[in-house]
Amino acid sequence: MRGSDTARLVGPREWVGTEGFPWPAAEALENGAGIVACYCVVSVNKDITKQGKPYYKLQLSDRHGAIEARVWEPVAEVMERIRQGEFVGVRASIETFNGTRQLKVSEIHPVEVGPEDLELFLARSPRDPAVMETELGELVSSVGDEGLRSLLGRLLDPASEIGRRFRRAPAAKHNHHAYVGGLLEHTLSITRAVSLMAEHYRPAVDRDLLVAGALLHDLGKIREIGTQAGFPYTDEGKLLGHILLGLQMVADAARDVPELGEARLLLLQHLIASHQGRYEWQSPREPRILEAIILHYCDDLDAKMNQAMSLLASVEAGWTGHDRAFGRELLRHHGTGPGAGADNGAGRRRKVRFAGKLAHGPEARGEVEPPPALPEGAGPPLEALPPRPVAPAPDVLAPDPHSLDLFEE
C-alpha cells in the first residue's frame, strides 16, 4: 500500500499528482476505468466473503456525492489507521456489482485536508446561489402578515447566524437535496409549489400562513445535519430531530416579534410539527388544517421528484435500471428534458441501498406527462442535477423519517 511505511500525510493535490486535479466523478467513468482521487470516509466496516476471505466495505463521499468502495487485499496495517469522518486518498478501478457502482480499491492511505480543500468533499446545489437569494427575498416580502414577515426576517436574515447556516445546509444526509445549499433549494421549491396551491384553493387557504410554514418547516435541519464532509448527524439531531429543533428555534425567535399573536404562532408551529404527515413517519402531529395538508404533500412530492430527476439524469435516454427506492424502472423519454434523444435503449443500471419499506404515500403513476417548463432560473434541468449518490447505511439513531423507508426527508 502506497505510503503505508511512512507517517507523513500528503494533501489531495500531492496524492492525485499528474492524474488530474480535481478528480472526476466516479459515476461519470466507465466500468474498468481507473481513478486516483480523495474522499471523506462516511463509514468503514470489516466483513468476510462466503469463501471466508476478509475485506473492507467503505462508504466514501466527495463533492460529486457518495459511492461505495471495497478493499480486498490484505491491508490491515493501513485500514487500522482509517476512521470514519477522516480523509483518504485512493487508487481504484470502477466496477458494478448487483447494479451498484463502486470502487475496487488497490491503494488507500489517509490524507491531510486543509481548509482550502474542504470544498472538494462537499457536493453543492446546481442552482445559482444569487438566483436563490433573490427568490428567497421575494417570497419573504410577499407575505402580507406583518407578524409572520417579521419572524421570517429575523430567522432568515443573511446576516444572522441562522440565516447563514440555512443557506449552506443540506436538506438531507443522502438521497434528496443532499448537498450544500440543498436545504435552501428544497425550501424554495416547496414554497413556490404551496404558493400556487394557495392561489388554486383561494379563499379557503391562508397563503401567508402557508408560505411562512413552507419557508420554516425544515429550519431545524441546520442543527440536525452537519454541513461538513459526509453530512453527519449531530448529537442533538439524533436525540431530538429537525422538527423539534425547528419548533424550538421558531418559538425562541417569536419572543422578539410582539406583532405575531399567540394564536397565529400556534398555527405556524402546527405546520412545522405536522409536515411529515403521519405518526409512523415520525411526525409529532398529523395535519389538521388545510395549510398543513398542502405543505405535507408538497414536501413529500418535492423530495421524490428530486430523487427521480437525479436518477433520470444518469441516463441520456431510455430506461433506468430497476431502482429499489421507487420499486421500478423509470423512463427518460425524448420529451423529459433538454438533450434527451429518442433512443429507447436501456440505461445504465443503478441501485441504492435502503432500509425498511415504502411508506410515504401511494406509489406514483407509472406514466407521467412531461413537466411544464419552469421560468428561467427557477430550477435546474435534469442535466444540472447530480446523479443521486449511493446512500450510506442509515443511522438507526437518527430520527429521519425518509431514511426509515426509501425516501429521505
The pLDDT, as a whole number, for residue 63 is: 84
Write down the CATH number for the domain with range 12-120.
2.40.50.140
| CA nearest to 15, candidates 88, 80, 123 | 88
* 251 vs 66: CA distance, rounded Å: 36
pLDDT tier, 393 (very low <50, low <70, confident <90, very high otherwise): very low
Q: Say what percent of the chain tops pLDDT 70.
A: 78
pLDDT digits (tens, 9 = 90+) for 139-198: 999 999 999 999 999 999 999 999 999 999 998 877 788 888 999 999 999 999 999 999
| CA nearest to 147, candidates 253, 36, 24, 304 | 253
* 362 vs 80: CA distance, rounded Å: 45
Average pLDDT over residues 330-351: 48
Write down the pTM of the prediction: 0.68
Whether 87 contacts 38, CB under 8 Å? yes
| CA nearest to 331, candidates 341, 320, 322 | 320
pLDDT mean across residues, the chain: 79
Tell me the three cell numbers of residue 346: 436501456
Q: Say what percent of the chain tops pLDDT 90.
A: 43
* 264 vs 258: CA distance, rounded Å: 12
Whether 165 contacts 159, CB under 8 Å? no
Answer with the residue of higher pLDDT: 180 or 229.
180
pLDDT tier, 77 (very low <50, low <70, confident <90, very high otherwise): low
Q: What is the CA radius of gyration of the chain?
A: 22
Whether 82 contacts 72, CB under 8 Å? no
Residue 53: count of CB within 10 angstroms of its CB: 10
Per domain, the residue ranges of the chain are 12-120, 122-409
Contacts of 264 (CB under 8 A, 6+ apart): 145, 147, 148, 209
The pLDDT, as a whole number, for residue 364 is: 32
From residue 265, alpha-carbon distances to 72, 141, 262, 381 in Å are 56, 18, 5, 37
pLDDT tier, 258 (very low <50, low <70, confident <90, very high otherwise): very high
Length of the chain (residues): 409
